[in-house]
Amino acid sequence: MSELYVEVRGSGAPLVLLHGWGLNVRVWDTLGAALEERFRLIAVDLPGHGHSPWRSECAAAREQVRWIARSVEALIGATPYGLLGWSLGSELALAWAAHPPGGLARPAHLVLIAATPRFTAAPDWPHGKPEAQLLRLAAGLRQDYRRTVSEFLELQVRGSAAGQAVLEQMRAALFAHGDAQPEALAAGLELLRTLDLRSELAAIATPALAIAGQYDRVLLPAATRALAAALPHARYAEIRRAAHAPFLSHTPEVADLLAEFLSSP
């Protein structure tokens, strides 16, 4: 199986970066510039996103995690490493931390931005979004996937103090590096619709930092707060006046949080 597209920058302890649905490694450029003097950043285009290939047989979360791990394990080696996931990437990061793939050790630190163990609502999970929203997105993909992704980007920045600037950064990432393949986008929505990692959380002993944006319209901050409460060793931070991508709208604040957390024992 071919490797996924990976970019490495900076020096220091390794930190693997997993982006969200529809985006690519370019979304990390601003945060990367703030962290590269302290950490070795390993950014991965998720399967079927950006420059990475797609294989339908790897649509399941565990298979995607294995594929990502195979693409970065030589860059990590035996060095203690951190793992950062945003949105869809945070669910993959949780699956990774619960069952480290291949020969990799558990991450030394886990950062989860706009994260949830279950995206859709359920009688015992009031923090999720209605399943019908994902089904509408999936229908939109079949009709015009570029327009659907564009509308989803706009939803991600609503309520943010720097919404227009963040939207321009996201669009620039797609323009500069390439958008995702429709099959990968559809599989990502199905993963969000069906994945439920709540039963795995108690086994994740890794120290974790869960970050939410106060005005996130994609994923309720309550979901990230509940996730942090369910993890054995996690703390929760909420960024005021941020939306779904606080690392873009409030880069210095998020970078300081990360640097402090990732440098702790």
Per-residue pLDDT tens digits for 222-233: 999 999 999 999
Whether 1 is in a domain gets the answer: no
Question: Mean of the pLDDT values across residues 177-182?
Answer: 93
- pLDDT given at position 173: 92
Distance set, CA 64 to CA 52, 168, 230 (Å):
12, 28, 24
Question: Mean of the pLDDT values across residues 127-153?
Answer: 91
pLDDT greater than 70 at residue 135: yes
- pLDDT given at position 122: 96
Q: What residues are annotated to the active site?
A: 87, 216, 244
The number of folded domains in the chain is 1
Please, which pLDDT band fits residue 137 given cuts at 50, 70 and 90? confident
Question: Mean of the pLDDT values across residues 192-196?
Answer: 96
Question: Mean of the pLDDT values across residues 231-241?
Answer: 97
Whether 174 is in a domain gets the answer: yes
Whether 58 is in a domain gets the answer: yes
- pLDDT given at position 1: 55
The pLDDT tens digits of the residues spanning 25-49 come to 999 999 999 999 999 999 999 999 9
| Segments forming the whole domain that contains residue 76 | 6-262
Whether 20 is in a domain gets the answer: yes
Question: Mean of the pLDDT values across residues 46-72?
Answer: 96
Question: Mean of the pLDDT values across residues 96-111?
Answer: 94
- pLDDT given at position 66: 96
| Range among 2-6, 145-149, 212-216 with highest mean pLDDT value | 212-216
Question: Mean of the pLDDT values across residues 110-139?
Answer: 95
Higher pLDDT, 159 or 222: 222
Please, which pLDDT band fits residue 69 given cuts at 50, 70 and 90? very high
CATH for 14: 3.40.50.1820
Whether 221 is in a domain gets the answer: yes
Question: Mean of the pLDDT values across residues 151-170?
Answer: 89
| Mean pLDDT for all residues in the chain | 95
Q: Which of 171-175, 183-187, 193-197 has the lowest mean pLDDT?
A: 171-175
